[in-house]
Chain A
């Protein structure tokens, strides 16, 4: 119970111009002398369609941890997720999320005088955080947990290398179950149906348009000296398409991330950091990012981008 007594007194909020989004603010910040000297507010975005508490209550733990470092932390549900009502316009889901984020930041600026924000998101939340920050100069730092990164040559070398070293692959080849036999039976190349399926496939992370959009977003935020912590969960495997630490750098070779980017790669951790110890590792990594000169970084970031 002693821990509960130390917990900050959280506030339940209705957010957005229609007061249609449900959020919880964990206050941590001391009253600053001016808005410019105040710490940025941390905003936690939904992980997929899991409501604002996050997978295994990750966002609650993170909010209380960062509040102990004197950051105000807001977690909220995007429209149509968790307890928030759907929007009444016809925006597509991704644009709807970006509009929600902008409206929430606007609200925090107008009601609480917050001028700088740190966005943290997992999975879809990471992608939304990146694009939102590309469009909003108030965002000074990003915590991207398993964001979307296109697959690279290095990815495929590791992927196929592992497959080649797997006894299961060779067992399937010897037993005639491996796809290579079907390929051979079809004339040594992809069947016409398979070729048509590839041609008709929807956009993927490797599609030039998607890759270019991500590259533009990263380039924009890095030019603004936005600090990025990118944490990747390795055992997410094929589904989440990242299998080595430097894949993010290789995917965007023309961007000079310089000292704005910190990458962490947890090889044996699942996509939602669901293990008790994995979650503790993630929380300590984020805490370390905030702590290793992070407070100073926020101030220097303000100086670099200020008038």
Chain B
């Protein structure tokens, strides 16, 4: 595993590159993992790491990375926006292709990372070998509602959701992460169902915690019978939620195995 910074000077992104093990024979295969946001990013870190290790042991060169303003990457969370994060995914795709020698990559995203990965996949179809959406954010308004209901008292060590003053960008503070009004507005526009007609032919939508809007995705996929898009309901705990108040999430092994299996038939 090699930690590195990549990207432009004023938008340096932190990544962890794990080469295929053992070294892959034949055409190089590469997977880019797209993390969720905020507290979900912290909780999901263990699962994303384990998924990366599993994929590398199955012959994938794997790159995990932090979006601008998150994790170890440069910038401040409040300076970030969704379009910038989509550009970060595109930058990471280029970095991974360059490092691994793969002509096309697999994108694997969780939650908001899945929603962003889907948008990038639609824009850069020639770079995509396959797309995996792990409990994707389906409808932005639903996601926002979910975020704002966090910190409502169930977790004693978590800060309550608070309204942020208009003078500092408005919006809300969600479990200690500031979501300004501009970010909330752009999150509210997320709509996975509208993207389904343009998703790559080879896509897996793996869901452990279906939201009310999930059936609309299944319905939209059913309208593309010619495609190889798969919607699967899996058991398993939500990797992105605080497990036992440790600050980290569960690692649902069955989900990791299913994604790895689907990508290595």
Chain B residues contacting A47 (CB-CB under 8 Å) are 247
Q: Does A271 contact B (CB under 8 A)?
A: yes
**Closest Cβ of chain A: how far from B248's Cβ, in Å?**
5
Q: What's the Cα separation between A274 and B159 when bound, in Å?
A: 6
- Chain B residues bordering chain A, tally (CB within 8 A): 38
Q: Does B3 contact A (CB under 8 A)?
A: yes
Chain B residues contacting A3 (CB-CB under 8 Å) are 75-76, 79
Q: What's the Cα separation between A12 and B6 when bound, in Å?
A: 10
**Closest Cβ of chain A: how far from B101's Cβ, in Å?**
22
How would you classify the secondary structure of chain B's contact residues: helix, strand, loop or mixed?
loop
Q: Does B193 contact A (CB under 8 A)?
A: no
**Is there an interface contact between B158 and A22, defined as CB atoms closer than 8 Å?**
no
Chain A residues contacting B164 (CB-CB under 8 Å) are 276
**Is there an interface contact between B10 and A1, defined as CB atoms closer than 8 Å?**
yes
Q: Does A49 contact B (CB under 8 A)?
A: yes
Q: Does B262 contact A (CB under 8 A)?
A: no
**Is there an interface contact between B74 and A275, defined as CB atoms closer than 8 Å?**
no
**Is there an interface contact between B177 and A56, defined as CB atoms closer than 8 Å?**
yes
Given A10-B72, A57-B70, the answer on whether A274 and B176 have CB atoms closer than 8 Å is yes
Chain A residues contacting B49 (CB-CB under 8 Å) are 82-83
Residue of B nearest to A48 (CB): B247
Q: What's the Cα separation between A226 and B255 when bound, in Å?
A: 48
**Closest Cβ of chain B: how far from A26's Cβ, in Å?**
10
**Closest Cβ of chain A: how far from B91's Cβ, in Å?**
15
**Is there an interface contact between A276 and B157, defined as CB atoms closer than 8 Å?**
no
Q: Does B156 contact A (CB under 8 A)?
A: yes
Q: Does A89 contact B (CB under 8 A)?
A: no
Q: Does A38 contact B (CB under 8 A)?
A: no
Given A4-B10, A47-B247, the answer on whether A60 and B72 have CB atoms closer than 8 Å is yes
Q: Does B42 contact A (CB under 8 A)?
A: yes
Q: What's the Cα separation between A50 and B76 when bound, in Å?
A: 19
Residue of A nearest to B70 (CB): A57
Q: Does B97 contact A (CB under 8 A)?
A: no
Residue of B nearest to A10 (CB): B5
Instruction: Name, among A14, A55, A279, the residue most crowded by chain B CB atoms within 10 Å (CB to CB).
Output: A55
Chain B residues at the A interface, C-beta cutoff of 8 Å: 1-5, 10-12, 14, 16, 39, 42, 45-46, 49, 68, 70-72, 74-77, 79, 156-159, 162, 164, 173, 175-178, 246-248
Chain A residues at the B interface, C-beta cutoff of 8 Å: 1, 3-5, 7, 9-14, 22-24, 47-53, 55-57, 60, 82-83, 85, 236-237, 239, 270-272, 274-276, 278-279
